[in-house]
Structure 1
Amino acid sequence: MDTDAALTVTVYGLPAPQGSKRSLGNSVMVESSIHVGPWREAVVWAMRQEIIRNRGWSALDEALEASMVFSFARPKSHYGTGRNKGELKPSAPARPATVPDLSKLARSTEDAVTTAGGYRDDALIVGYRRLEKRYTTDHGQVPDVLDVQGAVIRLYRCEAPPGGDHR
């Protein structure tokens, strides 16, 4: 467990990107991903549950670093069939280097954390300690990888540089 995180939240559900929009005409734009709404709702719910557990919590309002590890189920095509059913094919990729785009996953998640009151504004994030997409099959081998789809989100307060040097 990462004890120096100011807040750690585990979110269950299908992580979805934000950012791409399509036009319905008459200046009406909608999110391209139908999954972004449910994902953001899952993040808001999980974040608010954690905030309730941290009585007296007030939204972080300082420079922050974040960690987000998104876990995805492997497609069935990664597994063998017949007597090899359930075994990964040798050709199965180690990491999910496919859609959704990692930066768009972070964007949807950052906005949901703001909505939930985890921090005042996602502009406070000055860096990432970790930002990854992993398969759920890495659970137990790689920290913060879940055994089901979702994400582990950690927020860290930035330490002031020694001697007040703010370069």
Structure 2
Amino acid sequence: MSLLKTGDALPSDVVFSYVPWTEDKEDITACGMPQEYNASKEWADKKVVLFSVPGAFTPGCSARHLPGYIEKLSEIKAKGVDVVAVVAYNDAWVMSAWGKANKVKGDDILFLSDSETAFSKKFGWAQGERTARYAIIIDHGKIVYAEKEPARDITVSSAEAVLAKL
């Protein structure tokens, strides 16, 4: 059961952890310091695509889920999307390294940590201690698309599915 529905407002307390990308720390072995990312504040006046994966560097997430968003990024942005972000239960350093390993630079895609799966659990979208696989489109603070994968396949949370809903 999901507590998150189309038409809902993004809660005012959505905070993730992340390591901001910087050119001087673009090498995978260079580590920045994690910071809070107040998504509620940052996304209040933006169109956002947020997708979730069970874990960075896992086979399905690395080979099938994230690559679609990297490949379709310009098409997604062309639909007026200001922010594309991926979230997983991994800590901010792992998420940062995953972005670097996939050669994502700057803030093309934000790699965010859902610490203790707090965000995902709030909506019943966690799988044990991991985040579930899902996608959400937020338009100026309102949820306009929210789908959790019904099984192990990547269907409703794929870049193609999200692109079709933009």
Q: TM-score normalized by structure 2? A: 0.29
Greater RCO (Cα-Cα under 8 Å, separation 6 or more):
1
The TM-score, its normalising length taken from structure 1, stands at 0.29
